[in-house]
Amino acid sequence: SGLLTRLQTSAPTIRTLSSSNSFSQNIPSCLWKLGRLNHVAIAVPDLEKAQSLYKDVLGAQVSETVALPEHGVYTVFVELGNTKLELLHPLGEKSPIASFLQKNKTGGMHHICIEVDDIKTAMTELKKKKIRILSEEPKIGAHGKPVIFLHPKDCHGVLVELEQA
């Protein structure tokens, strides 16, 4: 009986999180859904050096440089298997990346991009929830799909890009 008592007291207790049920019940139903993380964008002062780091040093598959004049950037995508990195470099003096790099000389994380199943509905609902969108209409992004950006002050300091899946 002594061994059984010791086994019972030393056996791990398994607890269920009752708060997880109430948490999921408190999530309002949306007419649109967030999808997967599409990419994390990194502003870089030297695009060739950044490409070389990911391709030559880390062995990643790296795309060619693509100019997106309507966004004021050059982009390069680094394939990671489960997502991508987007390397951003300024294109023109009015580039938002140029002003970012003035404040962050060595570069850094610029934004995250999350896929959505219905960008127009997402815009409507986010506006109702007082989330500022940085454009009136979606623009065509680096993947040829509609994108919008959410104001970082409404997203805990993170610039969030939503891309139509």
pLDDT at position 138: 97
pLDDT at position 27: 57
Q: Is residue 66 part of a domain?
A: yes
- Beta bridge partners, 61, equal 79
* Domain limits for position 57: 34-164
pLDDT at position 89: 98
Q: Is residue 2 part of a domain?
A: no
pLDDT tens per residue across span 45-74: 999 999 999 999 999 999 999 999 989 999
Counted domains in the chain: 1
39: domain CATH number is 3.10.180.10
Among 19, 4, 28, 38, CA closest to 163: 38
Q: Is residue 52 part of a domain?
A: yes
pLDDT at position 57: 97
Q: Is residue 9 part of a domain?
A: no
Q: Is residue 60 part of a domain?
A: yes
Q: Is residue 70 part of a domain?
A: yes
Mean pLDDT of the chain: 88
Q: Is residue 1 part of a domain?
A: no
Token digits of residue 102: 């003035």
Spell out the alpha helix ranges (H) of 27-155: 47-52, 96-103, 119-128
Average pLDDT per 10 consecutive residues for the chain, totaling 165 residues: 50 47 57 94 98 97 95 96 96 92 96 97 96 96 95 97 97
Q: Is residue 110 part of a domain?
A: yes
Q: Output the CA torsion sign for 151, 154, 159, 165.
A: negative
pLDDT at position 122: 97
User: How far apart are alpha carbons 79 and 25 in whole angstroms?
Assistant: 36
pTM of the model: 0.80
pLDDT at position 4: 47
